Amino acid sequence: MTDFTTRPEILGTFGVFTSTHWIASAVGMSILEKGGNAFDAAVAAGFVLQVVEPHLCGPGGDMPAVIYSKKKDKVEVICAQGPAPAGATIEHYTAEGLTLIPGDGLLSTVIPGAFDGWMLMLRDYGTMSVREVLEPAIYYAEQGHPVLERVSNTIKGLASFFEKEWPTSYATWMPGGAAPEPLSNFRNPVLAETWKRVIAEAEAKSGREEQVEAARDAFYRGFVAEAIDTYLRDAEVMDASGSRHKGVLSADDMANWRATIEAPQTYDYHDWTIAKTAAWGQGPVLLQSLALLKGFDIGAMDPAGPDFVHTVVEAMKLAFADREVYYGDPEFAQVPTEYLLSDNYNNDRRKLIGAEASLELRPGRVPGYDHQHDLTVAMLSEMSGTGTVYEPTMSHLSEKRGDTVHIDVIDRWGNMVSTTPSGGWLQSSPIVPGLGFALNSRAQMFWLKPGLPTSLAPGKRPRTTLTPSLALHEGRPTLAFGTPGGDQQDQWQLPFFLRYVHHKSNLQAAIDMPLFHTSHFPGSFYPRTSSPGEIMVESNIGTEVLDELRRRGHKVTVADPWTVGRLTAARRDKDGLLRAAATPRLMQAYAIGR
């Protein structure tokens, strides 16, 4: 008899689509039904998520994707992470009186990357027109969509701030002077008009690819960039620093940037190969964690027992410590990723995982990087004691913090997309007049101290937390998975993947198991503080496990059942059978397929 799962594992052969919102999943599946492929479906759903989850992503945000194209027979990464503008220098920000980049406002903005990434995916891998992929988003922006409770609460919590400091956001999110009630029908007609104008400019050209290029130009070198430039020239707004600042993004910054396609960073774990972004994202921490855990008999551990939780958490602490010292945009810094993933390095590091929880941040030493190591450790040591970390919980449970969305899709031909769009949240910065969307706050992940891989510099990509996953089994592209959650994204993906690989559960069963994470290391988001030894665990893991983790020295915060993580996953079997699953947590994510 099959063990109970909260939802069925979706099975089919035609296509599967799973995302963090049921409407986006339905839209994605409808694109597959119309003959579109996985890439068309991901693009259409990505724009819909900007409408129905505006507290988690927006048109002014960013988007990394790990994809497999059947035609090219290749796993690749689409990098739609915009870099810092030309005016984003450490000197300028420190002259503004800042020691940390605020988590909101205009100084935290980098070049919006998501739109160009989606258009690049559509042009090079999709089959549909700009109109076909934008029309679902236009429909929900124009006709309305049911407001999520968290969206309503976020707007209500910011109502007075919007009214006083960000009037353009007040006009957009509080039409008539009141925040939308949960599940009321909410519209964003200005955004709908923006997309209609993009379509009109695209359709002034003939040919599908030419129309996609015209849409890119409309956004980055046309009316959208002009509206952003005009607004930022004069706008000076309040941010988390407690002062008002002007932004530095310009139309020239946008005109000279394009999303790119690059090779993934991979690691072999038993008979699986996991593909992630390079170290401009945090993705390699999952690979480093696997390199450490390869030396343990994970399959012999109870997947919800204290040995499993303890071992996985301690491995992640070591991997994330290395993230702080070594990760950054590889175009600006030498990142020793191969060394960090090497057997010799991890054989030594593995010895640090003992029976007790570590309360220290312990980055490893890489030959030739001693100065970088010491500089980073000294800076982080100076910061310790400057405040406690944001409540050790998931960012998506805090109404004023932004988060992220996720999409996994596999079509009948075997094309696969795993993508984690984010940024441009309704609470990240003011609405740009005439466009109906806000800019992002990704620059908060830079440091204002020179000499680090993540030091602020014009043209440099921030070391993002966005980290979609695609895994190959015995060399065959098999599994797409991911989750929102900032620094927790790889921390939730890792136990899911280990449980799935070692315990042969189905996708839904692996997603349903109790989740956990640590806030031991410095956070990527303002105010960048840490909580050594802290772990959060869902209470349904059991009191015996929680007590044992405390006995081992972990500072345990107990979360309510079904509150940690927003995982989704999709799989293609060797015989062509497709599978998909979505978390029941927050009661939003949904998997569809046939």
Amino acid at 116: D
Query: Distance of alpha carbon 144 from its chain centroid, rounded?
Result: 26
What CA–CA distance (Å, rounded) separates 332 from 429?
Answer: 27
Residues in the chain: 594
pLDDT tens for each residue of 322-337: 999 999 999 999 999 9
Q: For position 402, what pLDDT does the model report? A: 54
What CA–CA distance (Å, rounded) separates 440 from 430?
Answer: 10
Q: For position 486, what pLDDT does the model report? A: 87
pLDDT tens for each residue of 472-497: 999 999 999 999 988 899 999 999 99
What CA–CA distance (Å, rounded) separates 532 from 145?
Answer: 41
What CA–CA distance (Å, rounded) separates 72 from 76?
Answer: 10
Strands 469-473 and 476-482: antiparallel
Confidence of residue 467 (pLDDT cuts 50, 70, 90): very high
pLDDT tens for each residue of 543-570: 999 999 999 999 999 999 999 989 999 9
- Beta bridge partners, 76, equal 67
What CA–CA distance (Å, rounded) separates 109 from 237?
Answer: 13
Confidence of residue 381 (pLDDT cuts 50, 70, 90): confident
- Of the listed ranges 218-232, 384-398, 399-413, the one predicted with least confidence: 384-398
- Of the listed ranges 203-217, 327-341, 384-398, the one predicted with least confidence: 384-398
Give the sheet arrangement for strand 578-582, strand by strand. Answer: 10-12, 578-582, 568-572, 476-482, 469-473, 272-276, 265-269
Report DSSP letters for 377-396, one per residue: HHHHHHHTTS-PPS-SS-GG
pLDDT tens for each residue of 14-51: 999 999 999 999 999 999 999 999 999 999 999 999 99
Which is more confidently placed, 577 or 525? 577
Q: Sign of dihedral through CA atoms 369, 373, 374, 375? A: positive
Taking residues 123-151, what's their average pLDDT? Answer: 97
The beta-strand segments (E) located in 47-203 are 63-69, 74-80, 145-146, 185-186
State the alpha helices, DSSP H only, in 235-301. 251-255, 284-293
**What are the CA-CA distances from residue 228 to residues 109, 199, 255, 412, 461 (Å)?**
12, 19, 12, 40, 20
Strands 555-559 and 534-538: parallel
Buried b (16+ CB within 10 A) or exposed e, 259-283: bebeebbbbebeebbbbbbbbbbbb
Q: Count CB atoms within 10 A of the CB of residue 97.
A: 10
Say which residue the tokens 């001693």 belong to: 370
Say which residue the tokens 């409408």 belong to: 51
State the distance between the two ends of the chain, measured CA to CA, in whole angstroms. 23
Taking residues 281-286, what's their average pLDDT? Answer: 97
Confidence of residue 281 (pLDDT cuts 50, 70, 90): very high
Q: Is the pLDDT of residue 396 over 80?
A: no
Taking residues 364-368, what's their average pLDDT? Answer: 97
Q: For position 2, what pLDDT does the model report? A: 56
What CA–CA distance (Å, rounded) separates 179 from 415?
Answer: 41
Could you tell me what percent of the chain has a pLDDT over 70? 96
